[in-house]
Amino acid sequence: MVTGDIHDELRETNEMVISESAVRLGFDMASFVSTELVPLYDEIHFAAVVGNHGRTTRKPEFKSASKNWDWVAYKVMQERLREHEQVTVELPVGFEQVVQVFDKNILCFHGDGIPTNMPGIPWGGVQRRTKELSDTYNSLGLHIDHFALGHFHEADVVGQRRIWINGSIKGPDEYSMKRYGGGRAACQLLHTFHPKRGLVSTDWLEIQ
């Protein structure tokens, strides 16, 4: 959710310091929800996950998801939206969240733990990771119907529509151009469910 400062060059080029940007983002998200979504929907639920850029350490850590500036932005958003009873914001207590849509279970996680050293989405790593996660949750008595992740800045749907990888809202940047020679256009995925039929459509929302 935030650019962060896990790399030196980000610290130099960020418009705001990380604490200010996290709080500002929390206010902006809450303002958008209250003005654009609350008038249209009777119930709105946000299940938040944190990413790698919001972490407070240079090296990844595996405990305390709240030790992340993404979490701070979500917390500000949650507090600002308390006046709207139809809105709930579920803060992450770990690095994964299971969201139930009708009778389908969707496991949401950022995806930065999946190793890659090549441009694009490391499909072998993604499929191995989702298989391992599926086996783990099945052993706990919870079947996962879909997996939702991001991190790779490229929107796609695979595995008979079980695995969703969201795009980014920024598109190509200096890093992707210099390292890979390009990058995907800004895009987000919108998934629509039917109470009995499950997932009925996936739309690519191109961000201009």
Query: Tens digit of pLDDT for each residue in 13-26?
Result: 778 889 999 999 99
List the one residue out of 184, 202, 145, 174 whose CA is nearest residue 7. 174
Residue 51 pLDDT > 90: yes
> With bands split at pLDDT 50, 70 and 90, how would you rate the model's confidence at 86?
very high
C-alpha–C-alpha distance, residues 133 and 131, integer Å: 5
Q: Indicate if the pLDDT at residue 106 is higher than 70.
A: yes
The owner of tokens 């919001």 is 54
* Three-state secondary structure call for residue 153: coil
- pLDDT of residue 60 exceeding 90: no
The percent of residues in the chain predicted with pLDDT above 70, rounded, is: 99
pLDDT at 62: 85
| pLDDT band, residue 119 (cuts 50/70/90) | low
Higher pLDDT pick, 198 / 16: 198
Q: What is the mean pLDDT of residues 166-171?
A: 90
Chain centroid, CA 45 distance in Å: 14
Q: Tokens for 88, please give them.
A: 């709930």
Calpha distance 84→81 (Å, rounded): 6
Residue 117 confidence (pLDDT)? 65
User: How many residues make up the chain in this entry?
Assistant: 208
Per-residue pLDDT for 178 more than 90? no
